[in-house]
Structure 1
Amino acid sequence: MAKPESNWRELATCQFIDPEMFFPLKGGSTEAPKRVCNTMCDVREQCLEAAMREEYGMCKTLRFGIRGGLVPDSRYALAVERGEFVGKSEWEIHGEAA
């Protein structure tokens, strides 16, 4: 388990893996990066909480990559479940373009 908040990134397993794996193309598989996070990383919880803090107030479309073992939609759903403020996308505000 990581000690202080400031050094958890130094202990993250993903630092030794190609970062592209954690940003799959739309429709690409997320199983391998989630497996790394959920089974190999000792600081998954700290990573997830950092992602949640950094994405606070963001709409679903502004969240990217697998962080803390969760895909963007799952982190958005977690924010909603926690009762956190989540922004709305331009599409949600203005509707579909004519």
Structure 2
Amino acid sequence: MHWRERAACRGVDPDLFFLIGNSGPTLEQIDEAKAVCGQCPVVEQCLNWAMRMGRVEGIWGGTTEGERRAMRLRGARQSKDAVTVVA
């Protein structure tokens, strides 16, 4: 069985996870979407997929696109620092 078939968001209106804007009602929408992710048995697989895919819109693995971008940047910096320490 594919991880998506076990996702908590199956059967939930997909519009909940694809945001329009970044303030006001959208902040409430983000919280609602993340609450669904918080109950999901495959949240890690979902986040890993989104991170591998790169720029993916919407809430995936309990994170926004901006949060995933920040995670990638932190990972890139840590990798650079590790190379610098070794060198």
Structure 1 length as normaliser, TM-score? 0.68
Residue 58 of structure 1 corresponds to none
Structure 2 length as normaliser, TM-score? 0.76
Residue 53 of structure 2 corresponds to 54
Residue 70 of structure 1 corresponds to 63
Partners of 2:19 and 2:76 in 1: CA distance: 28
State the Cα RMSD in Å: 1.6
Deviation at 1:50, TM superposition (A): 0.2
Identity %: 38
Deviation at 1:81, TM superposition (A): 1.1
Residue 74 of structure 2 corresponds to 81
Q: From the two aligned structures, give the one with the greater helix fraction.
A: 2
- Aligned pair count reads 72
5+ residue gaps, structure 1: 1-5, 56-61, 85-98
1:20-70 CA-partner distances (Å, limit 9, x unpaired): 0001210312100011102x1000000000000111xxxxxx541000000
Partners of 1:63 and 1:16 in 2: CA distance: 20
Residue 36 of structure 1 corresponds to 36
Q: Which stretches of structure 1, 4 residues or more, deviate above 4 A after TM superposition?
A: none
5+ residue gaps, structure 2: 78-87
